[in-house]
Structure 1
């Protein structure tokens, strides 16, 4: 039976790449998006009408997430993988010596840290009905305390570090039921997180997505004491 996967932040960039790669592998995919579907996602819907369902998911809105769960339950009795991908960048320039935008930081945390736990909490009953019970949290090397070298990008870095802790907390509970959490850093990817496509990045969304999915397949049933924190090449990252 085909895997059933929910991907948040699926309208463009890495999320769209994940959806495309999963569909090519024959998965049933729920693409969680905020706002109108992109033309690229609509094209995938036309090509994979029986395997792709586009659902409205704003990870900052619990009511909308609950409504999305109802949509998913109408098509599937389980969820094999939950890929928490939706994220925003926020201000990347201010250092502690500058005027700092704390409202911007709060917004980044609301999306990048609270967003995944809102989605996880809502969809966990469906995950628990699967043999796999795998949550894939798309994090970043920017969330590593041990390897921190930056002097700015406060909101994004702190939100990803907090996401890593969240992943450990969820993993500790989920492994009692045979499930687990995998934390993946996608690399420097050509995405729209800065408002336009970052063509300077060496990885296309599809290239990164392909490697991330391969890692999820490889570690689908691996349950270590703590979540694995890996980059897109499978190298272990420091917490």
Structure 2
């Protein structure tokens, strides 16, 4: 029977790359896609009408991830895995300029929405001995000027993945750093946030683009897909970069 996987932030970038690999042969999974807007999700539903269910909403205020679990069960009858990819980068501001409301919005999306989903999903994942992949970031342990909100939310995500593995022995969990990818987030860092970052850090992101240092999202996406399908005990509960030696077998 085809696996049933939830993918959040699936309308573009890494999430869309993950969704396409899961839906395509030879995997041909049944997938529940989640994003803020419909425009990036409906094409998947049109192309794979029997494999896709989707819903949209604001993760900062709605229980969209919880509803995604309910949709997976209603539509496909089970749940085998979740890839938590949805996240926002804003606000990029120093702590001295922090707007607490902006931090809370980011945390509601990047962190608390994960817990809302997990509370709903854990009984089904216990039944299937399911797997959860949390998309993290190098910013969880590398510290950049103005990145306090985003980086700390990803550090919390790393801890959440480890806690889930410790508490739920029948559920595989991992926090995956996908590296620096050629996605819209990098566009924002180069074009939108330069004045709120240090000049050296902004210049680094400009050079990554000009020097071809950005990875296609399909590369870490492949690792995420393999982990949500067949993640094993050697990496359970860990926080790892997609190209870490421990993940070599998941990069094939």
Please classify the TM superposition score into its range, dividing by the shorter chain length: 0.7 to 0.9
Q: Does the 8 Å contact 2:132/2:228 carry over to 1?
A: no
**Counterpart of 1:101?**
99
The alpha-carbon deviation at position 28 of structure 1 amounts to 1.0
- Residues 73-116 of structure 1: CA deviation (Å, up to 9, x unaligned): 22222211111111000122x334x4222222221111111121
The answer on whether the counterparts of 1:56 and 1:68 sit within 8 Å (CA) in structure 2 is: no
Once the two structures are TM-superposed, the CA of residue 216 in structure 1 deviates from its matched residue by 4.0
Shift, 1:151, TM fit: 3.1
For this pair of structures, how many residues does the alignment match? 225
Summarize the alignment of residues 205-224 of structure 1 with structure 2, pairs less than 5 Å apart.
205-217=217-229, 220-222=231-233
RMSD over aligned CA atoms reads 2.6
Alignment of 1:166-185 (within 5 A): 166-175=160-169, 178-185=170-177
Q: Are positions 1:2 and 2:13 aligned together? A: no
User: What does the per-residue CA deviation read over 1:166-186, in whole Å, with 9 as the maximum and x for residues that have no partner?
Assistant: 2222221111xx212111011
Measured after TM superposition, the shift of residue 33 of structure 1 is: 1.9
Runs of 4 or more consecutive aligned structure 1 residues displaced over 6 Å after TM superposition: none
Deviation larger for 188-197 or 227-236: 188-197
**Which runs of no fewer than 5 residues in structure 2 stay unpaired?**
191-207, 248-252
Alignment partner of 1:36: what SS? coil
CA distance in structure 2 between the partners assigned to 1:73 and 1:228 by the alignment: 28
Please give the residue correspondences for 1:102-121 in structure 2 after superposition, counting only pairs within 5 Å.
102-121=100-119
Q: Which segment is superposed worse, 180-189 or 50-59?
A: 50-59
8 A contact 1:8–1:57 mirrored in 2: no
The offset of 1:70, in angstroms, is 3.0
Between the aligned partners of 2:128 and 2:185, the Cα distance in structure 1 is 32
Give the whole-Å Cα distance in 2 for the aligned partners of 1:142 and 1:19. 24
Distance in 2 (CA, whole Å) between partners of 1:26 and 1:68 is 19
Which residue number corresponds to residue 142 of structure 1? Answer: 139
Is contact 2:165–2:171 with CA below 8 Å preserved after alignment?
A: yes
Residue 54 of structure 1, CA deviation: 1.4
TM-score normalized with structure 1 length: 0.82
Shift in alpha-carbon separation, 1:65–1:128, aligned structure 2, 3 A: same
Q: How does 1:187-202 map to 2 (within 5 A)?
A: 187-193=179-185, 200=209, 202=214
Indicate the residue corresponding to 2:243 in structure 1.
Answer: 233
Tell me the TM-score normalized by structure 2.
Answer: 0.79
Name which of structure 1's ranges 67-76 and 164-173 shifts more when overlaid on structure 2.
Answer: 67-76
> Which residue in the other structure is 1:123 paired with?
121
Alignment match, 1:154: 148
